[in-house]
Every structure is written in C-alpha cells, then in structure tokens.
C-alpha cells in the first residue's frame, strides 16, 4: 500500500480513488451485507487502477439506539476494509451517515418525537463520539486504512435550505468537529482524519461551517466540487468555468490555510447530468482534473462515484443514476476508462508540482463567523477575475488580504506577484 503522509506537501505519489457506491442495493446493502458482492465491486474498481475507496456505513444501522452500537454492523465495516485489501485498495471510513445523494440517514432517536440537535445536545454528541470511537477501534489495526472523515457533508443539516434545519452557530460547529475528530484521534493517532462539507462552506455567509473550520480542523482540507450547484446555472455548456471550478476550489482551500503545506484532498468530484452531457463525461473528467494535478499539497483525487445507482431503485434525482465510473453491472463507462488512462499516464510520467507565483487577493470578512466569505462565490468579481486568468493558462493562486504582508507565508507558497 502507498502510505498516507498527513501534514506534509506531496512527497509521495498522488492518490487516486473513488467514493464507493455498492452496485447492488446502493448503501441499503449494509442491511443485507454480502461480502462477495463487495469483493466483485472492489475487483472492478481495482481494474481501473484506483488505489483507495471511501466507504459510507449508515448511521441508523450502526447505532439504532443512543446507547446501542451494533457489534455486527461495526464488524461489517471491518469486513469491507479486509475485502478492499484483497484487491490492493486502501480505505477511508466515513463516520456519521448522515446525508448521501439527497437522502438523509438520521437515527430515530434524533428525529420526530425524539428530535434533538445533533451538533449541540450533549447526550447526542457523546453518543456520536462513541460511534466514531467504535469504528476507529474496529479498523485502526488494519494496514490498508487511511483514516476517518467525521461524516459526509455534515453541514447539510444545518443550512437554511434543509427542510428540518438543525440550528447551530459557527462556534458550536467548531466544537462539534473538535470533539469528534478527537474521538477518532484518541483511538487512532496515526490516521488521517478530517471533516467534509459542500461548497456552502466556501460561499454562503450563513453556513455554520466556515472556511476556517475547513482549513484548520483535521489533517487535510477536503474539497467537494459539484458544478450543478451554482456554476452550471451561471455559465453555459462549454464554458471553461465548468472544468476549472475544481481548481478554483482547491486554490480557495489553499488560500484559507495558514499552513502552506496543509494537504488538500479533492474528496468528491463528479460529472452530473444534465450539467455534464452523457457523451461529455469523460472529457469533463479529464479537463477538470488536469488543472489541479500540479498543486504541490494535493493529497489525492477521489471521484464520485464507483458504480451507477441501479434503475431498480426509486426516487433518486436523475443525476444520481449516472455518476458511476462503472454501471450497476460493473462494466466500465467511458469516464471510467478515461480515468484509468489518466492514472496510468500520471504514474508513468507524474505531473510536476508547481507553486503559483501570481495570486489574486480577496477579503473574506469575519473569519470567525464566515460573514463575508460570499465574496468568493462564482457569481462574484473574484471568480470572474480568477477565471479569466486561469482560462488563459496563467493559473493564478488566491491569497487572503490579511496574508499579503506576511513575507514568510508568501515565500512558502511561492507567491511573488500579488494582484489587488
């Protein structure tokens, strides 16, 4: 296995992975666990040249009662990790699922008549930490595990658009992350542990997950790049904004960190239909990934997702049925074959990491609350200016205004030209 190197620039080969969506039964397959089906999925993933998977055990199945963590459910997670090892795959484990592909998976003891705040209720937070601890205990000794993510886009429950919003403040959210990350680290001190969020954290002033949380808590800053959220509504098909958006997010993540060497993990990126036409998915994949590959502190790329959701399952948004690198019969799709080619090419002749010497400045406002971060939204002048330069091939970085007088910081990032 290629080792993870938390907290350092890219000194080992770039990691290439996929978010694992089981081909049979989607994530509901945790209820009728079939390790042979998992093995078949992992074999099809490994044939593409990928080296790791991110897995998503469902919270209500693992912890159906606040004081009950099912040993069989935890053991199944370990069996998935072992199955991955058979095919040379490392594994990153998500903890609180949480939210996946438009569906929420909260246990009954925090909903309806038992509704309690998942971020601030002391008993709930203690139970969540217990689950993180149990998962970490199960997998930490296995040689092919990378670490844990607190959960998938856990900010989803706290944003204003959620139909059953759970209110919390940026300060409270920060304490929640710290508590759960500490639970993982206590059991698993050598793992690469982080949290994840959608791009509201970068662009929406009211989101309680802030860029500071993103760039300071955990061992890596995660980036989830989805063009259908904003970019596809602002820029037409064929516009470079669509294929440069992932690079913009990576540069934004870099700009918010005070540590120029902090790893950035492009943890989710996909080709969502109709924002990306079916026959354009392979080109979109390559054109979105190539611009980020020279980022010195990019840890890895993890595509969303491995296998299409089967048409036998109802009520998914249409895009979810087509996001896989492989179809639900485990056959590689054009995007999967293109990624396999890109991985093979990069392993034979890796892109040389390059520090970007020109950076555009921006003032993100109050970094404790996140009020002012909307200056970086794709509809604003910062993105327009960055995009014009990026599309011309100059590949600019981004830098917060407060850091422009920090000579050591600028030098560490290789920035010699600051554009107001």
Q: Domain limits of the chain?
A: 15-348, 358-419
The pLDDT of residue 11 is above 90: no
H helices within 188-331, ranges in order?
Answer: 200-203, 211-216, 231-234, 240-256, 281-289
φ, ψ of residue 101 to 5 degrees: the values are 50, 50
- One DSSP character per residue, 232-263 reads HHHS-TT-HHHHHHHHHHHHHHHHH-S-TT--
Whether residue 64 contacts residue 350, with contact meaning beta carbons closer than 8 Å, is answered with no
pLDDT tens track for 213-254 = 999 999 999 999 999 988 999 999 999 999 999 999 999 999
Cβ count within 10 A of residue 290? 14
My answer on whether omega of the bond before 274 falls inside 30° of 0, hence cis, is yes
Q: Please state the pTM of the whole predicted model.
A: 0.96
User: Please, what CATH class does the domain formed by 15-348 belong to?
Assistant: alpha beta
Residue 12 pLDDT = 81
Residue 5 pLDDT = 35
Tokens 């604003």 appear where? 380
Residue 3 pLDDT class (50, 70, 90 cuts): very low
């Amino acid at each position: 296995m290629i080792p993870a190197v938390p907290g350092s620039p890219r000194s080992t080969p770039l990691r290439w992975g996929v978010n694992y969506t089981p081909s049979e039964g989607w994530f509901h397959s945790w209820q009728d666990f079939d390790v042979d089906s998992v093995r078949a999925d992992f074999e099809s993933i490994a044939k593409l040249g990928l080296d790791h998977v991110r897995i998503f055990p469902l919270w209500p199945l693992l912890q159906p009662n606040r004081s009950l963590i099912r040993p069989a459910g935890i053991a199944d997670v370990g069996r998935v990790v072992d199955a991955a090892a058979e095919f040379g795959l490392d594994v990153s484990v998500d903890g609180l699922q949480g939210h996946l592909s438009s569906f929420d998976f909260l246990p009954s003891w925090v909903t309806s008549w038992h509704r309690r705040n998942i971020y601030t209720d002391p008993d709930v937070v203690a139970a969540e930490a217990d689950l993180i601890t149990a998962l970490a205990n199960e997998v930490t000794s296995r040689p092919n595990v990378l670490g844990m993510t607190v959960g998938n886009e856990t900010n989803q429950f706290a944003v204003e658009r959620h139909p059953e919003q759970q209110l919390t403040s940026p300060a409270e959210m920060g304490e929640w992350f710290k508590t759960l990350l500490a639970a993982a680290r206590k059991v698993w001190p050598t793992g690469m542990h982080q949290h994840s969020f959608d791009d509201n954290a970068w662009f929406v002033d009211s989101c309680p997950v802030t860029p500071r949380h993103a760039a300071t808590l955990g061992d890596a800053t995660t980036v989830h790049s989805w063009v259908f959220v904003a970019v596809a509504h602002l820029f037409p098909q064929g516009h470079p904004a669509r294929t440069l958006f992932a690079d913009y997010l990576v540069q934004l993540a870099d700009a918010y960190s005070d540590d120029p060497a902090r790893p950035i993990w492009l943890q989710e990126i996909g080709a969502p239909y109709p924002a990306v036409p079916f026959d354009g998915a392979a080109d979109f994949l390559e054109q979105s990934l190539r611009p980020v590959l020279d980022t010195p502190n990019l840890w890895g790329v993890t595509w969303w997702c491995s296998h299409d959701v089967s048409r036998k399952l109802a009520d998914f948004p249409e895009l979810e049925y087509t996001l896989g690198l492989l179809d639900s019969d485990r056959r590689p799709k054009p995007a999967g074959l293109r990624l396999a080619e890109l991985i093979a090419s990069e392993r034979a002749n890796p892109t040389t990491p390059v520090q970007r010497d020109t950076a555009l400045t921006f003032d993100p406002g109050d970094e404790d609350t996140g009020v002012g971060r909307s200056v970086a939204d794709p509809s604003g002048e910062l993105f327009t200016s960055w995009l014009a330069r990026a599309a011309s091939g100059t590949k600019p970085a981004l830098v917060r205004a407060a850091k422009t007088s920090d000579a050591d910081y600028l030098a560490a990032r290789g920035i010699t030209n600051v554009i107001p």
